[in-house]
Amino acid sequence: MQNYSFLQPLLILFFLMFRTAVAMTTSKDTKQGALIFLHGLGDTPAGWSDLRRNLPSFHSRLQNIEYVFPAAPQISLTINGGAVMPGWFDLFDWPIAVGSKDDKEGLLDGVKLIEDHVSKLNEKGIPSSKIMIGGFSQGGAVALLAAYRNNNEEAYAGCAALSGWLTLPEELSVSEKAGKKTPLFWGHGTFDDKVLFPQQKFGVDKFREQGVNVKDKAYDIGHSSDPDEMKDFADFVDTCIFGSDTTTSSGKL
């Protein structure tokens, strides 16, 4: 019977090399964070998908996060006489001022969709503490509810509302964990004629009253975005996911 003991060191070496290769591949494939961003009424994910290119142009390490752009369902809009279009929830008043009626069922459906995407990211190895939730207009309203609603057990890296508004304000109850660990960026146009500008102060004041660290900025624009807001947004996302050290984050790609 032949003695193959001389192969044992080679087998051990092969095993160690294989395990190292698997670990390196897993580490390389796992993103360092994520941004879930919801589009606005009547839009599609394509409307904001350029964020995956624009944000890293301000902070290069933002190319190392996963970008998720969910699509809103086709729903009947009361303000449009029942016409069907992409939307996260129904709207009953136009323009959207402080005190406008809310569609709670539709809002919670949007929150559930975000939570489903968070679960998928968790399965990929991205913890909720490295996941940003954000959106524009209706999408921003849903993002706010998902990040700070009272029965939310996860503290996200941060939340961003661009031209959004606080829905269900009478039910707002921010958990201590979310208040401490999920800062908020709220950008809004002073000439917004769709989601009226006073919505920003109303919402920001409510969140600050409940302990949320809020950075609010106003821009001389309507219901849209501009480069200054994108720069501020990129700064916020970068800090929330990677921390305040910017020595390796700034600069064009």
Residues serving a catalytic function are 137, 192, 223
Instruction: Tell me the two tokens of residue 176.
Output: 């201590």
Distance CA 129, CA 34 (A): 10
DSSP 158-214: EEEEES----SGGG----HHHHHH--EEEEEETT-TTBTTHHHHHHHHHHHHTT--E
Helices then strands, counting H and E runs in the chain, come out as 7, 8
- Judged by DSSP in three states, 1 sits in coil
Instruction: Tell me the two tokens of residue 48.
Output: 């904001």
Cα-based distances in Å from 6 to 13, 18, 124, 150: 12, 20, 40, 64
Instruction: Name the one residue in this structure whose structure tokens are 């920003």.
Output: 200
Residues in the chain: 253
